[in-house]
Amino acid sequence: MKRHIKIGTRGSQLALYQAEKVKATLENLFPDLHVELEIIKTKGDKILDVALSKIGDKGLFTKEIENALIDGSVDIAVHSLKDLPTTLPEGLKLGAVLERGEFRDALVSLNGKKLSELGAGDIVATSSLRRQAGLMKMNNQIIIKDIRGNVNSRLKKMEEGYCDAMIMAAAGLQRLGLEKYITEIIDPEIIVPAVSQGAIAIEMRIIDPEVEQLMQKINHTATWNAIVAERAFLAHLQGGCQVPLGCFSKVENGILAMNGFVASLDGSQFINESLSGEISKGAELGIQLAEKMLEKGALGILNQINPTKFTN
């Protein structure tokens, strides 16, 4: 059994919280194990003046950390799973996930307005095309502005008048102790969450039996089953930050219930489908849900967004 583990992580407050949570979990289960953090700056941390959808890099918040994992500088990497592409670099794999936190989005409103109360002229900031499409479908009179930066810098921008409200991942606010800023948790039927939102992932080298033993002990099975299905859905639709799509799933009594959507950028075209099945068939269910949406015209919507990328 390994006696020392080095975790690769981004340096944001939220990333460090998540890495520290993995560290604490490992040390609680393995008291003789020494765990340390290695902070690595990613491309997404360096480019803060361009919308995520325009950078066009699936590994925006992960590539540099994965390179350190490949060359042996770190033993494992901790990510927000929603940032981790479905196709991982050669030699790497998803090793484990912790128990999923809140998977829904949150509205943070400067004046206390709820989502249903926002109207013409109200400015809502988000860096996500998925959230933008959901907002436009609900009310196309809302003004959408892009926003980048960490959680605290976004809150500061709003307070300085950049926008009237923001849509953010509720889990991030909760993990940083900023629940007081949440005006409301958004119904996932209105704005469908990102694939794997709220889940903390540990990435590892494919051939590393000692780390594999550790991962088997900390992996949360119910969360794993859900995210396998969601990531299969995402992979089958060839999605990423440049596409307004989302999916969430719930596990109850051995049954996995999934809901997914694909939308045009302006929210005028919106396909929402659901299905359920045995939890042991998670990846198969994710693909079935994606196929169900392709049959309803999802490919046409995706091709409008990026005509050269999507194939059936």
Residue 85 has, within 13 A of its CA and on its CB side, a CA count of: 16
Same domain as 88, residue 9: yes
Same domain as 239, residue 121: no
* CATH number of the CATH domain containing 124: 3.40.190.10
User: Which residues are annotated as catalytic?
Assistant: 83
Same domain as 174, residue 67: no
Same domain as 242, residue 132: no
Same domain as 262, residue 118: no
Spans of the chain below 50 pLDDT: 49, 55, 308, 310-312
Same domain as 160, residue 206: no
Q: How many domains does the chain have?
A: 3
Is 191 inside a domain boundary? no
Per-residue confidence (pLDDT) for residue 2, from 0 to 100: 73
> In this predicted model, what pLDDT tens digit does every residue of 122-170 receive, in sequence order?
999 998 999 999 999 999 999 999 998 889 999 999 999 999 999 999 9
Same domain as 206, residue 85: yes
Same domain as 152, residue 38: no
Is 226 inside a domain boundary? no
Is 293 inside a domain boundary? yes
Is 246 inside a domain boundary? yes
Per-residue confidence (pLDDT) for residue 162, from 0 to 100: 97
SS (H, E, C) the chain: CCCEEEEEECCCHHHHHHHHHHHHHHHHHCCCCEEEEEECCCHHHHCCCCCHHHHCCCCCCCHHHHHHHHCCCCCEEEEEHHHCCCCCCCCEEEEEECCCCCCCEEEEECCCCCHHHCCCCCEEECCCHHHHHHHHHHCCCCEEECCCCCHHHHHHHHHCCCCCEEEEEHHHHHHCCCHHHCCEECCCCCCCCCCCCCCEEEEEECCCHHHHHHHHHHCCHHHHHHHHHHHHHHHHCCCCCCCCEEEEEEEECCEEEEEEEEECCCCCCEEEEEEEEEHHHHHHHHHHHHHHHHHCCHHHHHHHHCCCCCCC
Same domain as 148, residue 207: no
* CATH number of the CATH domain containing 277: 3.30.160.40
Is 229 inside a domain boundary? no
Same domain as 298, residue 258: yes
Is 84 inside a domain boundary? yes
Is 214 inside a domain boundary? yes
Per-residue confidence (pLDDT) for residue 4, from 0 to 100: 95
Same domain as 71, residue 20: yes
Is 227 inside a domain boundary? no
> In this predicted model, what pLDDT tens digit does every residue of 45-80 receive, in sequence order?
665 545 555 545 556 778 899 999 999 999 999 999
Question: Which structural domain range is residue 140 located in?
Answer: 105-185
Same domain as 211, residue 85: yes
